[in-house]
Structure 1
Amino acid sequence: MAETKDKATVPQPTKDFDLEKSMHKAEDFFYKNKNVISIAVLAVVVVVGGFFAYNRFVKQPNENKAQEMIFHAQNYFAVDSFKLALNGDGNNYGFIQVADKYGSTKAGNLAKYSAGVCYIRLGEYQKGIDMLKSFSSNDLLLQPTAYGLIGDAYMELNKADEGIESYKKAGHYNDNELTAPVYLFRAGQALERAGKSQDAITIYKEIKEKFPTTNEGREMDKYLARLGDVKN
Structure 2
Amino acid sequence: MTETKHKAAESAPVTKDFDLQNSVHKAEDFYFKNKNVINIALLVIVVVIGGTFAYNKFIKAPNEKKAADMVFHAQKAFEKDSFNLALNGDGNNDGFLQVIKKYGSTKTGQLSKYYAGICYVKLGKFQEGIDQLKDFNAGDQLVQAMAYGVTGDAYMELKNTEEGIKYYKKAGQYSDNDFTGPTYLFRAGVALELAGKNDEAIAIYKEIREKYPQSNEGREMDKYLARLGVVRE
Q: TM-score, normalised by structure 1?
A: 0.89
What does residue 125 of structure 1 align with?
A: 126
CA distance in 2, matches of 1:86, 1:229: 46
Structure 1 equivalent of residue 176 of structure 2: 175
> 1:43 corresponds to which residue?
44
| CA–CA distance in structure 1, aligned partners of residues 99 and 119 of structure 2 | 14
Q: How does 1:1-232 map to 2 (within 5 A)?
A: 14=16, 19=21, 23-232=24-233
CA distance in structure 2 between the aligned counterparts of 1:13 and 1:148, rounded to whole angstroms: 68
Q: Partners of 1:15 and 1:77 in 2: how far apart?
A: 75
- C-alpha spacing 1:57/1:228, structure 2 compared with 1 (3 Å): same
% identity of equivalent residues: 63
2:40, 2:142 → 1: CA distance? 47
State the Cα distance separating 1:15 from its structure 2 match.
8.2
CA distance in 1, matches of 2:130, 2:200: 25
Matched residues in 2 for 1:10 and 1:189: separation?
A: 74
Counterpart residue identity of residue 219, structure 1? E
Q: Give SS of 1:172's match.
A: helix
TM-score, normalised on structure 2?
0.89
Distance in 1 between the 2:14 and 2:91 partners? 89
**Gaps in structure 2 of 5+ consecutive residues:** 1-10
How many residue pairs get matched? Answer: 223
Deviations 1:166-204 (A, max 9, x none): 111111112200111011111111111222211111111
Q: Distance in 2 between matches of 1:32 and 1:81?
A: 68
Counterpart CA distance in 2 for 1:204 and 1:16 is 69
Between structures 1 and 2, the one with greater helix share: 2
Over 3 Å counting, the alpha-carbon distance change for 1:30 and 1:162 in structure 2 is closer
Aligned to 1:5: none
Rounded to whole Å, the distance in 2 between the matches of 1:49 and 1:212 is: 53
2:118, 2:158 → 1: CA distance?
15
Q: For residue 4 of structure 1, what is the aligned residue in structure 2?
A: none
Structure 1 residues not aligned, in runs of 5+: 1-8
RMSD over equivalenced CA pairs, Å: 2.0
1:123-142 per-position Cα deviation (integer Å, ceiling 9, x unaligned): 10110011000001231211
